[in-house]
Amino acid sequence: MSAVSLSRRLAAEGLGSAFLLATVVGSGIMGANLAGGNVAIALLGNTIPTGAMLVVLILIFGPISGAHFNPVVSAAFAIRGQLSLKELLAYSLVQLAGAILGVWVAHGMFDLAIIQTSTHIRTGNAQWFAEGIATFGLLVTIFGCVATASKSVPYAVGLYITAAYWFTASTSFANPAVTIARSLTDTFSGIAPVNVLGFIVAQGIGAGLATFGSSMIWPKEPT
């Protein structure tokens, strides 16, 4: 049981999720605006700030809440007995609410309509498989670092997501709250609402396999 109150942990999860999505969506808008139609440059402009912000957010909020910002990460820790069901539900709801708020903040900063729905189609076996791999790799990165080099978690996660933007066909959402929130932006980083469920199912499968596999490789948490 964490010594930090649940209210403080939820505040950290919500604020961190909001800043993460403001970064994902805002950098996507800025990248697309400045890239002159070059999608590779726009994606690079989206990737670097996202990885950098993850490092910052995990450094500042990790000691408070664990800096999950991701329902499947919270679920994996709950499976390991480190979060109760009540805490898991609360974390997930706050992560989603914060993520949606972050999308709206990004829209406001770029003088766009606050309420939007994405028309960006992202679907198909390759994209679903990519999301499973992306989420699997994220969880293995987290559990591996927790077990062997806990102080490196912020940097490892930031670097992993930076890489996964480019080696996965889906650009590595790897997060159900992020996926839902990004369906509410019709900008570079959006995903059409009709495609959300396929991504979330793939993320859940990837996270489940990673949680099981990690428990075999690193069976005990450090004391």
pLDDT value at position 220? 67
What confidence tens digit (pLDDT) does each residue in 38-56 have? 999 999 999 999 999 999 9
What confidence tens digit (pLDDT) does each residue in 68-86 have? 999 999 999 999 999 999 9
In the predicted model, what is the mean pLDDT of residues 163-182? 98
In the predicted model, what is the mean pLDDT of residues 121-144? 98
In the predicted model, what is the mean pLDDT of residues 168-194? 98
Tell me which of 74 and 220 has the higher pLDDT.
74
The CB density around residue 19, as the number of other CB atoms within 10 Å, is 22
pLDDT value at position 2? 75
pLDDT value at position 219? 87
Global pTM reads 0.95
Pick the CATH number of 6-217 from 2.40.170.20, 1.20.1080.10, 3.40.640.10, 3.20.20.70: 1.20.1080.10
pLDDT band at 221 (very low <50, low <70, confident <90, very high): low
Task: Please say if the pLDDT value at position 11 is more than 90.
Answer: yes
